[in-house]
Each structure stands twice: as C-alpha cells, then as structure tokens.
Structure 1
C-alpha cells in the first residue's frame, strides 16, 4: 500500500510536469523582454556618457 508521502510526491511530480511547459513559455517571454530592454537602454547609456 502506498504511503501518504509517496502519493504526495507523485502528485507533486505530476503537477510540476504540467506546469513546466507554462514556465518555459514565461521564461522565454521574460528573456525576450530583457533583450529588448538591454537593446533599448544601451544606446541611451552611450549617449549619456559623451
């Protein structure tokens, strides 16, 4: 008979697998936002230095 801990770890594993795809999409979106922010801020930083 499975223990409560075994059942909970299985549920947690299933939950993590179901969420992992959405986390990848979120991470990719955040990476793209950071790239755009860096590209947008670098020219302004160079202009401010001169």
Structure 2
C-alpha cells in the first residue's frame, strides 16, 4: 500500500507542528514524522529560555 502526501514534515517541535498545521489548513495532505511523542520538547518537558 502506497500513500502520497503533499508535505512530509520531519520533526514535531514548535516549527514542525506549525508548518504542518498551516499546510493542512490550506488543504494539503500532510505527514508528520518524529522520534519523540507528539508535542516536542517545549510541550513535553518545558522550555528553558536563555537570555
């Protein structure tokens, strides 16, 4: 079974999820690939701002 996608996003962090959501809202078929659970580092473990 073969599937075709308009966009494949590698990395489910803040940027990857944002771009996947924008493309899906525009009607594109999107696949998201990440080695970690959905949400990325900030959502799962919290961000530590540096400055």
Q: Does the alignment reach a TM-score above 0.5? A: no
From the two aligned structures, give the one with the greater strand fraction.
Answer: 2
TM-score, normalised by the number of residues in structure 1:
0.31
TM-score, normalised by the number of residues in structure 2:
0.30
Q: Larger relative contact order (C-alpha < 8 A, sep ≥ 6)?
A: 2
